[in-house]
């Protein structure tokens, strides 16, 4: 696994399309139990070379019911974004993840894991990729019907502060679904 992660961290396939030098961010171990499939690292993650060390990460850890020590333990959580590098800023947030990463690297990474209990699909890009034809008509429907995708997948919205409109419009997610997610995560990690 470490050899593969080192190779990925040296990837420069989409260098010409990035606003900053490539800095692929990915983490995990063969023992990782919960795989976080998300969009792409933000600018802060790029600068600090650490995924989820921002307000989005704080909200995600809250949803998962874990602290930083548990979250950053590679035997508990792996970080496998759809795009490994910061894609740049758009009008309403970061640009979509680069399309090169997932087809190039994901299958090789999945071959390394030996203990996956749950795949958390964070945001629309990962849900489109991994739910395929079983996906509902949109992200909200996927999350409303999260139990249809268990025990393998658990779809959630992106925890970014930019996404507060969705959370305000859909209070049932934090009132009902987050509790179910926390119970499942606690059971997996015990």
pLDDT in 10s for each residue of the chain, 190 residues: 999 999 999 999 999 999 999 999 999 999 999 999 999 999 999 999 999 999 999 999 999 999 999 999 999 999 999 999 999 998 888 899 999 999 999 999 999 999 999 999 999 999 999 999 999 999 999 999 999 999 999 999 999 998 899 999 999 999 999 999 999 999 999 9
What are the angstrom distances between the C-alpha of 81 and each of 25, 28, 113? 8, 12, 15
Residues 6+ apart with CB under 8 A from 140: 166, 170
pLDDT digits (tens, 9 = 90+) for 7-34: 999 999 999 999 999 999 999 999 999 9
CB 129, CB 102: distance < 8 Å: yes
pTM of the predicted protein model? 0.95
pLDDT value at position 75? 98
What's the count of helices (H) and strands (E) in the chain, helices before strands? 11, 4
Portion of the chain with pLDDT greater than 70, in percent = 100
**Distance, CA of 82 to CA of 23 (rounded, Å):** 14
Q: How confident is the model over 156-181, as pLDDT tens digits? A: 999 999 889 999 999 999 999 999 99
Residue 74: the pLDDT is 98
């Amino acid at each position: 696994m470490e050899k593969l992660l080192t190779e990925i961290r040296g990837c420069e396939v989409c260098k010409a399309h990035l606003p900053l030098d490539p800095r692929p961010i990915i983490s995990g171990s063969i023992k990782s139990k919960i795989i976080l499939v998300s969009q792409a690292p933000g600018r802060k993650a790029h600068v600090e070379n650490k995924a989820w060390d921002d307000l989005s990460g704080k909200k995600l850890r809250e949803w998962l019911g874990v602290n930083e020590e548990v979250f950053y333990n590679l035997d508990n959580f792996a970080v496998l974004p759809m795009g490994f590098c910061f894609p740049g800023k758009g009008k309403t947030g970061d640009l979509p993840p680069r399309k090169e990463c997932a087809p190039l690297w994901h299958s090789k990474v999945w071959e390394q894991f030996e203990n996956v209990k749950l795949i958390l699909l964070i945001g629309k890009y990962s849900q489109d990729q991994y739910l395929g034809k079983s996906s509902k008509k949109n992200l909200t429907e996927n999350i409303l019907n999260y139990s249809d995708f268990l025990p393998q997948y658990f779809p959630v919205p992106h925890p970014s502060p930019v996404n507060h409109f969705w959370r305000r419009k859909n209070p049932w997610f934090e009132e009902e679904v987050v509790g179910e997610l926390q119970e499942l995560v606690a059971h997996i990690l015990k």
